[in-house]
A and B are shown apart, each in its own frame.
Chain A
């Protein structure tokens, strides 16, 4: 236990936002604007998502109460939190437990594997806990307001808030450990890890689909509706007892349920944590020796043949663009995050088509077809999806310590920054064009509108990339212990999203005003294109300036 606490203290002091270095960085003159901006960003996210949650929670409580399960709301908030925790903690688990740069140091110290694993699980728990509280706390409050703040609710609330994420967290840790274990000796380690992550996501989506299908079948006869929902809700309780124990614990006779939930969470946590810990060091050693093995396996003696195959020249700009891809594919966390962002539209559509009923989808399509500015709307949705991305706003951070290489390359800093923009726009715009083509066919868009939609996507993606990159060039997170910190836990993503939201808001504002004034939608699109292009011209100089500071001689 002492070792675990010691390690946790070291992580907090050495690799978290509470470390002295990070605090000093925040306090320094250049960083003073970060805190208020981050607070605003978080505030907006908190209020917007929070209000949606509260609205839904009130309806869910109502539904449960009608069918004799007032605690159904607690069941559903716990389920939502478990799914979110499973999805989000999985990549974090791989990153923190297996990819962390401090592993090499920890392996050399006289620390038990179990202590390392438990301390890292605790860190993982600390990163996921705020999200769990954000989801569950409003549910508990709404339940209390509607049902009454009973003694049992007051006793179970802290347990549900603090012990709630243990089960999904330890499940995703175990899954991560299994995937790393399977792939650690493979030459295609990163590919294996990404496939594993996708399979897990597939499993979660299927799981959610089954749940939704259970509750969202279309009932034609109104007399059967009551019985149907009553049966389905009962089925929820019998199918997933741990969640039934969690929700039952808030009811007046829920003491025994609370005990069962605590024992279950604690038991699962201890057993799976022990299993992960048992092979942890062996897995780290295996991954070390796998590198050495691959080195021997790849050894060729015929150097002439090898050089003949291996040496191809490219322009400096092309080499820099290729390097961006190489940095992303060097790490499964970076790779998965990039793919997820590019494939967000098919993923969302896939989830919707799996979880929604055909009636829902038809209703949504009918609504879209009835809009007379459908082209502008499709354009706006596509921009929204692609502009809110973390690829460019973490581009410099992803370089980490290898930024030292960039800083001694004999190329103007602007060229290096533009190579990054070229890479981000190339991958983003390729996906944009595919989705635009699909939307064109599916929604039967007016071909004339492609006049602004095709170049507009390019210009707006360029602006977004430049904006994100400026932010990351100004305050790159270069010292990270695990890759997760560079991409998913990077404040630059939030700041960039804030700027991009403002950009979209600005463009939508222009569009809205012109629509109100009765301007033709094609003209509106073209005006938006011109405005976006002017904005790009305005900010491009700032990119070069920021690049000079980041890649030039340091103060």
Chain B
């Protein structure tokens, strides 16, 4: 369960409000899509969820653990896939996964089983003993996903996960997210791909200029918009004032 209560974050000595009093709950067994235009505050929110950034006010609880007071416990239960995967480039894929498994204290048998299973699933098994520097962007993205799933996290957070993935890997990831959701895990991901959000998410939240302007299941959003044929894209554009800009 992700629980944000009145969370705010400013940059440039308070002059730029990146996130403004954000309140949101994402329970276990839900896939939550976090949408918003560029610079709306999506990545800042995600960075606060995983403990990379400290919020100015408000509290964030991840399965009951406060991100400011008990960040190590938070990190143990989350799996995070960043938008730009960063690795120790001179390591091999297997070396990196082993390092992550060591840090999470995974047993040899368990990690062997998980690495075999996930690397085969994401079609990366044949490349694991190559140095990461030689990987394509998509391969790095896959490695990032595998490393985030290695310890079977309770909360799976993904920042623009579909970028760079080929259709097959993208499909596999979506299936994985659904399976995790069925197993009662919390999935929180940001995306610009409306189709994915529309089809995959139980609920979507739309953030604009740091404020949550909508948060509901897609069908409910459609009802609120008053047009039964509205797509998520239309609703998104309407709510984020971008439709006007395009018309002009």
Contacts and interface: CB of A to CB of B under 8 A. Distances in A.
Which of A292, A313, A555: most chain B Cβ within 10 A? A313
B130 interface: yes
Nearest to B90: A330
A531 B89 CA distance: 43
Contacts of A402: 86-88
Contact of B129 (A298, A322, A412, A554): A298
A310 B54 contact: no
Contacts of B16: none
A291 to B, nearest CB: 4
B107 A300 contact: no
A550 to B, nearest CB: 12
Nearest to B75: A410
B130 A294 contact: yes
B48 A313 contact: no
Contact of B115 (A307, A323, A329): A307
Nearest to A314: B102
Contacts of B94: 306-307, 310-311
B225 interface: no
Nearest to A400: B86
A398 B129 CA distance: 24
A301 B126 CA distance: 6
Interface string A391-424: 0000000000110110111111000000000000
Interface residues of B, number: 50
B129 A306 contact: yes
Interface string B110-133: 011001100110000111111101
Contacts of A412: 72
- Chain A interface, DSSP helix/strand/loop, else mixed: helix
B91 A408 contact: no
A140 to B, nearest CB: 46
Contacts of B107: 313
A311 B134 contact: no
A303 B103 contact: no
Interface string A518-555: 00000000000000000000000000000000001111
B51 A407 contact: yes
A315 B127 contact: no
A221 B73 CA distance: 80
B120 to A, nearest CB: 7
A195 interface: no
A316 interface: yes
A327 interface: yes
Given A295-B130, A326-B90, A410 B72 contact: yes
Given A306-B129, A307-B116, A316 B105 contact: yes
A299 B53 CA distance: 39
Contacts of A409: 75, 103
Interface in B54-94: 54, 67-68, 71-73, 75-76, 80, 82, 86-92, 94
B54 A553 contact: yes
Nearest to B74: A410
Given A292-B134, A303-B126, A316-B103, A553 B71 contact: yes
Interface string A308-332: 0011111110111011001101110
A306 B128 contact: yes
Contacts of A410: 72-73, 75-76, 103-104
Nearest to A306: B129
Interface in A272-299: 291-292, 294-295, 298-299
Contact of B134 (A295, A303, A330): A295
Given A294-B131, A410-B76, A553-B48, A405 B125 contact: no
A154 to B, nearest CB: 52
Contact of B98 (A294, A304, A311): A311
A233 B53 CA distance: 66
A303 B111 CA distance: 14
Contact of A552 (B71, B127, B134): B71
A520 to B, nearest CB: 49
Contact of A310 (B48, B98, B102): B98
Contacts of A306: 94, 128-129
A381 to B, nearest CB: 36
Contacts of B72: 410-412
A316 B107 CA distance: 12
A322 B98 CA distance: 12
Contacts of A303: 116, 119-120, 125-126, 128
A553 B134 contact: no
Interface string B128-171: 11110111000000000000000000000000000000000000
A144 B231 CA distance: 84
A96 B121 CA distance: 41
Given A295-B127, A299-B130, A300-B129, A312 B98 contact: yes
Nearest to A320: B103
A319 B95 CA distance: 11
A330 B101 contact: no
Interface string A432-453: 0000000000000000000000
Contact of B54 (A291, A327, A555): A555
B173 interface: no
Contacts of A323: 88, 99
Contacts of A301: 126
B108 interface: yes
B172 interface: no
A205 B107 CA distance: 51
Contacts of A320: 103
Contacts of B67: 553
Contacts of B88: 323, 326-327, 330, 402, 405
Contacts of B135: 295
A407 B125 CA distance: 27
B51 to A, nearest CB: 5
Contact of A312 (B53, B71, B75, B108): B108
Nearest to A323: B99
B224 to A, nearest CB: 35
Contacts of A322: 99
Interface of B: 48, 50-54, 67-68, 71-73, 75-76, 80, 82, 86-92, 94-95, 98-99, 101-108, 111-112, 115-116, 119-120, 125-131, 133-135
Listed from nearest, the 6 A-B pairs whose CB atoms lie closest are A319-B102, A295-B134, A410-B75, A330-B90, A553-B54, A295-B130
7 contacts: A300-B129, A311-B94, A311-B112, A319-B102, A326-B90, A326-B91, A408-B52
Given A311-B98, A552-B71, 9 more contacts: A299-B126, A300-B129, A303-B125, A310-B128, A311-B112, A410-B76, A553-B48, A554-B53, A555-B53
